[in-house]
Structure 1
Amino acid sequence: MERPQVNNVSDDELVDRIVKGEPRLYESLMRKYNSRMYRISMSIVNDDAEAEDIMQISYLNAYRQLSNYRQQSSFATWLTRILINESLLHKKRNTKKEKALMETAFTDEHHETPLSNLMNKELKAILEGAVASLPEKYRLVFVMREVQGMSTNETMEVLALGESNVKIRLARAKDMLRAELNKNWKPEQIYEFNLVRCDVVVDHVMAIIKND
């Protein structure tokens, strides 16, 4: 099945056409916001499989409420609010389970989820772990502003915060991230020359010396 061609069509126009009988166009809206939805949900639930489930639930909830969308805010803001509410509800439901299982909020398997285009997987895992360690209210703002690239105004609207609060939380998040990363900073690991590499060089040189 071919994907609908909706280049240069606004979100509001798409919503209107979907409500009027073109449900296939909803695919375009989902593809447009998948990255944002995933990252923001991850910043709350810290589980890639759960984030995907929450995305699906949120998209379905939004679709079923499209006729109630009144354009008082942008579609992106409206959709993101639905996602955040569902993510928070999901997290609340699972709090007791998480305590019972004594699981960490961000395990190794979660480190394999995309956060940004980092070339080094080890560095990526460290950064993801540092972001996951932030308190939720700071993590949300950081992911929206720095990872997803949302504007201050849109972040304010989605989270119902004032401009100063958004800026303060972002600055605080950066400070805490810096402190967390500094704890893992080990200069001696840069260009580390491990034992195996050491043996290779030494053995090679000694072999040459022995034959001289």
Structure 2
Amino acid sequence: MTKPIAPTEAVRVEDLDDAALVDRAQQRDGAAFWLIIKRHNQRLYRIARAVLDDDAEAQDVLQETYIHAFMHLSEFRAEAQLSTWLTRITLNEALGRRRQRRPTVDVKAIKAMPAPFSAYNADPEEASALAEIRRLLERAVSDLPEHFRIVFVMRDVEEMSTEETALLLGLRPQTVKTRLHRARRLLRETLRDKLATVFTDTFPFAGAPCDRLMQSVLDRLGISLLQLQAY
């Protein structure tokens, strides 16, 4: 049991571990609810999306996950990791929704996941290139067979251990390793094929960089653009 916080102690809620946050959430502390969501949102979203391959449904799963979790906080055992407990709830909700889908429904809307480059302010051209790379990766991951996609997201995107992934999915660790290996191989093949079509455009020198070089050369030669119009 977490030691009660004395009124005179200046403890920021952001500094509390998950067990302490659960204790506070059980006392209806709004800040604790908010921080639990903030800490685990990205992992749970990515895992739900790996199962359902749909942004809107993944967001619905997250809402249901948090509602269920917050209504059953008394069932959480502090010796377990909160992330593992929440992930199991997310998987159960997502898998349940997938089983309820009609066979004729084809949900393949590919939208951007949170960008891994969000902390870096690239210039417009570089930002556009990074966005295109992200779209290629997302499409390639989304096109993986579902059982490979889920393992890949859990292991390589969320960096969960083989053991935790196996436990949550009810698989043997060796099966997780095999599926991850095959997922990586499929991704390499897919990306190689997609990128082969754009190799001819690699290292382009056009647009603003080209214009700047041209202007610099003309300035050094003492030639203005007006003079060029005579040719």
TM category, shorter: 0.7 to 0.9
Equivalent residue of 2:141, what SS? helix
Q: How does 1:1-212 map to 2 (within 5 A)?
A: 5-22=12-29, 24-71=31-78, 73-96=80-103, 98=105, 103=106, 105-107=107-109, 110-114=110-114, 116-117=116-117, 119=127, 120-185=130-195, 186=197, 187-191=199-203, 211=230
Shift of 1:10: 2.1
Higher helix share: 1
Calculate the aligned-residue CA RMSD, in Å: 3.2
Q: 1:73 to 1:157 in 2, by over 3 A?
A: farther
Moved over 4 A (4+): 207-210
Shift of 1:192: 5.4
Q: What letter corresponds to residue 51 of structure 1 in structure 2?
A: A
What TM-score, normalized by structure 1, do the two folds share? 0.78
Structure 2: unaligned runs, 5 residues or longer = 1-10, 119-126, 207-213, 215-225
Aligned to 2:223: none
Structure 1: unaligned runs, 5 residues or longer = 195-200, 202-206
Question: Equivalents in 1 of 2:62, 2:22: separation in Å?
Answer: 18
Shift of 1:93: 2.0
Report % sequence identity. 34
Given that residues 14 and 35 in structure 2 are in contact (C-alpha distance below 8 angstroms), is that contact kept between their aligned partners in structure 1?
Answer: no
Q: 1:112 to 1:23 in 2, by over 3 A?
A: closer
Shift of 1:23: 5.2
Shift of 1:158: 1.9
Given that residues 148 and 179 in structure 2 are in contact (C-alpha distance below 8 angstroms), is that contact kept between their aligned partners in structure 1?
Answer: yes
Given that residues 14 and 25 in structure 1 are in contact (C-alpha distance below 8 angstroms), is that contact kept between their aligned partners in structure 2?
Answer: yes
Larger RCO of the pair (alpha carbons < 8 Å, separation 6+): 1
Question: Equivalents in 1 of 2:115, 2:169: separation in Å?
Answer: 21
Question: Equivalents in 1 of 2:15, 2:176: separation in Å?
Answer: 31
What TM-score, normalized by structure 2, do the two folds share? 0.72
